[in-house]
Amino acid sequence: MIVTEILLEFFLETRQHTERLCKPLEIEDYVVQPIVDVSPPKWHLGHTTWFFEEFILKHHKEGYTLFSDDFAFVFNSYYESIGKRVVRTDRGNLSRPTVDQVYAYRKYVTEALKDLLEGDVSAEVTKLLTIGIHHEKQHQELLATDIKYILGNNPLMPVYGGDISFRESVKETPQSQWTHITEGVYEIGHNTPEFCYDNELGRHKVYLHDYAISNTLVTNGEWIAFIEAGGYNKTLLWHAEGWDWVQKNNIECPMYWHKVGDKWYHYTLEKGLQEIDESAALAHISYYEAFAYAQYKGLRLPTEFEWEVASKHLDWGDRWEWTESAYLPYPGYKKEEGALGEYNGKFMVNQKVLRGGSVATPSRHTRHTYRNFFQTGLRWQFTGLRLAK
Ligand code: AVJ
Ligand code: FE
């Protein structure tokens, strides 16, 4: 089977885009890990490269020599079946390999893949290449949000700069309306020939009762009203775990928000600290906050199934939307074989599903069956919410 030029083009474009995201960084920005969830940009650059080397080149390219025997230890993220690795909390302690060496590694692996793809390749390689591309795209989103965390938590709050605009203060339509869906049996899960992750498969039927879902995301202005109504102090709105999280971390507003005088500001990649636009879609809240807000409104979050069914009637893609659904396997879920079985399946405990996409999601990445997932207290992604009833 010949890898179409289109797939090769897709691969090269993806590799380039990752580097373009890092272009505005200073060397020091590449190395730090301010919290465990945020990885150093240098680590993302190396890890996405290691993924292609480990899963494709090592097994499918004749005579391939690893760029470095040490890099699997440094850039393996969480694949227990592949081998030992730097513990996650130590990713920011790696002053070596240097940024230059990591860029050289990227070049070496990209060239080796280009060379491999110029010949005849198996359906297996085509499949692995497609996963590798989508994997790198997931890391492009993580790169954008990790860079935002690194810069936005630096006391100087530097502007990111560069030529990529994230439209972070994307406006919501002022007229919020309810979209009504009639009760019945609906099919959930992926069913096109296009790529999807294993966690979207096991298409199955669910029964949904009559429900309504908002055609808009909750806005910054609506969130300010929640703050002013004492939402963060009203214990009855919160889960026990959410309330503990608020107390322990002194949470009073979304991540990146700062009150100066009586006005709210937030850190943005594009312009640094900016006055908040009340009509823009809210971002950077945890599941706990999304839930408390729905309680305060006397409403609820949609389930991931309600979201998927309604999505064809909605405008979506600016924010990852917290749902009420636990991240669980669909009936009939089958893990990928081998180490790739560790990619999604082993995280199906204690996490919530987010649907949609965000201003940091790269092109051709998300879809209406895509299942993102995070732990309930995390909010450095562009996370927001849409209400249901
Ligand atoms: C789907 C965003 C939760 O961050 O671990 C990256 C994406 N998977 N490499 C994550 C992912 C493997 C994943 N999330
Ligand atoms: Fe990864």
Give the CATH number, domain containing residue 320: 3.90.1580.10
Q: CA–CA separation, 284 vs 218, rounded Å?
A: 12
Ligand 1, atom nearest to 344 Cα:
8
Smallest CA-to-CA distance from 65 within 108, 22, 120 is with: 108
**Residue located nearest, by CA, to atom 9 of ligand 1:** 135
Supply angle C-alpha 4, 44, 374, rounded to 5. 100
Ligand positioned closest to the Cα atom of 51: 2
Residues 145 and 195 in one domain: no
In degrees and rounded to multiples of 5, residue 366 shows phi and psi of: -90, 175
Q: Ligand 1 centroid to 220 CA: how many Å?
A: 27
Residues 142 and 218 in one domain: no
Q: Is 365 a member of any domain?
A: yes
Strands (E), 118-158: none
Residues 343 and 300 in one domain: yes
At 3 the pLDDT is: 65
Residues 148 and 184 in one domain: no
Q: Is 332 a member of any domain?
A: yes
Neighbours of ion ligand 2 (CB under 5 A): 77
Q: Ligand 2 centroid to 51 CA: how many Å?
A: 8
Q: Ligand 2 centroid to 47 CA: how many Å?
A: 7
Q: Is 161 a member of any domain?
A: no
pLDDT tens, per residue, the chain with 389 residues = 556 788 999 999 999 999 999 999 999 999 999 999 999 999 999 999 999 999 999 999 999 999 999 999 999 999 999 999 999 999 999 999 999 999 999 999 999 999 999 888 999 999 999 999 999 999 999 999 999 999 999 999 999 998 899 999 999 998 999 999 999 999 999 999 999 999 999 999 999 999 999 999 999 999 999 999 999 999 999 999 999 999 999 999 999 999 999 999 999 999 999 999 999 999 999 999 999 999 999 999 999 999 999 999 999 999 999 999 999 999 999 999 999 999 999 999 999 999 999 999 999 899 999 999 999 999 999 999 999 99
Residues 218 and 74 in one domain: no
Q: Is 236 a member of any domain?
A: yes
ipTM > 0.85, yes or no: yes
Q: Contact, 138 vs 81, CB < 8 A?
A: no
Ligand 1 pocket, Cβ-based, cut-off 6 angstroms? 135, 138-139, 142, 343, 372-374
Q: Tell which of 118, 138, 153 closes a domain.
A: 153
Q: Tell which of 153, 187, 204 closes a domain.
A: 153
Q: Ligand 1 centroid to 29 CA: how many Å?
A: 21
Q: Is 276 a member of any domain?
A: yes
Distances (CA, A) of 56 to 114, 194, 339: 12, 21, 13
Residues 96 and 30 in one domain: yes
**Residue located nearest, by CA, to atom 7 of ligand 1:** 138
Residues 146 and 186 in one domain: no
343 DSSP 8-state letter: S
Distances (CA, A) of 353 to 77, 104, 139, 302: 21, 37, 18, 11
Q: Which domain holds residue 299?
A: 178-384
**Residue located nearest, by CA, to atom 3 of ligand 1:** 373
Residues 149 and 182 in one domain: no
Smallest CA-to-CA distance from 134 within 382, 362, 330 is with: 362
Q: Ligand 1 centroid to 263 CA: how many Å?
A: 35
Q: Is 170 a member of any domain?
A: no
Q: Tell which of 153, 170, 194 closes a domain.
A: 153
Residues 261 and 353 in one domain: yes
Residues 122 and 196 in one domain: no
> Structural domain tally of the chain?
2
**Residue located nearest, by CA, to atom 11 of ligand 1:** 138
Residues 149 and 267 in one domain: no
Residues 222 and 141 in one domain: no
Give the mutation target among 142, 145, 346, 367 for probing the ligand 1 site: most ligand atoms within 8 A of CB: 142
Ligand 1, atom nearest to 51 Cα:
9
Q: Ligand 1 centroid to 366 CA: how many Å?
A: 13
Q: Is 144 a member of any domain?
A: yes
Give the CATH number, domain containing residue 106: 1.20.120
Q: Is 165 a member of any domain?
A: no
**Residue located nearest, by CA, to atom 12 of ligand 1:** 343
Q: Ligand 1 centroid to 138 CA: how many Å?
A: 6
At 162 the pLDDT is: 84
